[in-house]
Each structure stands twice: as C-alpha cells, then as structure tokens.
Structure 1
Amino acid sequence: MTMYERWIHELWNGSLADLPAIARGVVSDDFVGNWPGQPGLVHGPDELAAVIRQGREMFDELSFDIELGPIEQGDLVAGRWVATGRYQGSPSEFHGHDLLRRDGDRFVEYWVIAEDPTGG
C-alpha cells in the first residue's frame, strides 16, 4: 500500500477509536496541515486526528475513495478523492485534491482544496 493509500484508507476511513495512533503512523510529529484560508491550521498528528474526527462526525456513513493518483514527484504526492455519505439525512458527495510532502515514511506537510461538504 502506498503512503497516499494509507492516508486515505487508514486515516480518513479508519476507525475513529484508533485515529490518534493511525495519525502518528502516517504523519510526522512536526506535520503541518494547510486548508484553504487556514494555513497552518493543524500541527502534529494529534491535531490532525482531531480535525479529521470533527469532519467525519458531521456525517453518517462517510467514506473516501481515491479517484486519481497517487502522482509522485520527488518528495511530493498528489491525489484526487471523492467522499460520499449522508449529511443531515440527505445523500452527500464532494471532491477534493490533496498535495502532501513526505520525508521518509511519513508525511510532513499537507495542502487540500475541497468542495464544501455541506453544500453551503
């Protein structure tokens, strides 16, 4: 399994109970996550786990699938994903693009562009 497949399948789709441990296995202690309009929103695996948990708990039956990638060049990894689930009882689907920088066997930096999952 590639690092990006672990990022999507283990971290974003994995067990919420195991999320902090999974995050520590996928990202570095000095990891920085950047969201649109919120550069440096996340620092380290515990903050990443908390942000993922918060987003996933907004939905029922939320799952992420890779649509394209991973595309790798040097220490950069890119991918496109689709998420499906239910938001406030209605079906929901949204897409996004990830760009990650890795160092060894962990990601150290992340940028994401995604549609508004709540349709707002």
Structure 2
Amino acid sequence: MTSNLYRRWLLEMWNGDFDLARDLVTPGFVGHWPGMDVHGPDGLIEALRMGFQPFDDVKVTLDVGPVVDGEHVAARWTFSGTYKGGLPGASAAAGTRVAFSGHDLLRVEGDRFAEYWVISDAQTFNRQLGIG
C-alpha cells in the first residue's frame, strides 16, 4: 500500500495533478525543503504550483524505489522540463532543457503522508540555469 501511495505521489501529483495532494497528505502534513517548510495540503499545492511555474513539459520519473521501511518510504527521482524564463538570477535562455535528480523520504500516518523531506541536486540545476 505504501509503495502505491508513493507512486501516486510522484507519478501523478508531481506530474501535474497537484490537487491530488488533498487525498495523499494529512491535514497536518509538513514538507521540508532546504530553506523552507510547507504545511498542509494547500501549502503543498501552492509550493508545487510555484515550483513548476517557470517550466513547461515537466516530467518526473521514478529512478530507484520506492523502498519501504515501516512508516517510512524513500526513493530517487529525476525532474526534467523546459525552462520558460523568469527565475531571479537565472541567465539561461527560455527554451533551455533542464534535468536533475533528488531523493525523497516520507513518513506515513494511516493511509496518507504526514511528513516529507527532500534533497535535490541543486548544483546541477543551478548550473543548467546559469544561477550563481
């Protein structure tokens, strides 16, 4: 069950069905990104919309896992898309293709995710967009 929950999380929600967050996370959900936390399904939906806004043709694929251990699930994924422009500090031209990988760790509570930690390859992402 947890493996299927994660597949919906990654392969459906992270591929554009953001409102699915209301079915996949608890009301008290906390998502931990480097530098920010988001709270609840609506906070997650807003973070996804803002994060995806500068990109077209987004595709998120599952590379490794999901690996389930008790109440936790982990996986490795790859994000790819076409940069539309508009990110502060980015010098890449609109139309630049980007791809980077990351790792998820989630805690399950009942039949939903209650907590999320993510780390991604920001160095590769920043290099592709000419940031820093």
Same fold (TM over 0.5): yes
Per-residue CA shift, 1:60-117, capped at 9, x if unaligned?
A: 1011000000000000000000011111211110110000000111000000001223
What is the alpha-carbon distance in structure 1 between the residues aligned to residue 117 and residue 11 of structure 2? 18
Partner of 2:81: 85
Identity of aligned pairs, percent? 46
Work out which of the residue numbers 67, 73, 87 in structure 2 matches 1:71. Answer: 67
Q: Can you give the 5+ residue segments of structure 1 that lack an aligned partner in the other structure? A: none
Question: Hey, what's the Cα distance between the residues in 2 that align with 1:14 and 1:61?
Answer: 10
TM-score by length of structure 2 reads 0.81
Larger radius of gyration: 2
Could you tell me which runs of 5 or more consecutive residues in structure 2 were left unpaired when the two chains were aligned: 84-93
Q: Looking at secondary structure, tell me which structure has more strand per residue.
A: 1
- Displacement of 1:118 after TM fit? 4.4
Task: Give the corresponding residue for 1:25.
Answer: 23
2:114 to 81, 88, 108: 108
CA distance in 1 between partners of 2:16 and 2:79 (Å):
14
Structure 2 residue 88 is matched with structure 1 residue 97 = no
| TM-score for the superposition, normalised by structure 1 | 0.89
Q: Which residue of 2 aligns with 1:4?
A: 6
Q: Trace 1:12-51 onto structure 2 (pairs within 5 A).
A: 12-15=14-17, 19-20=18-19, 22-38=20-36, 41-51=37-47
CA contact (8 A) 1:82 1:93 kept: yes
The RMSD of aligned alpha carbons is 1.3
Kindly indicate which of the two structures has a greater share of residues assigned to helix.
2
Q: 4+ residue stretches of structure 1 with deviation over 3 A? A: none
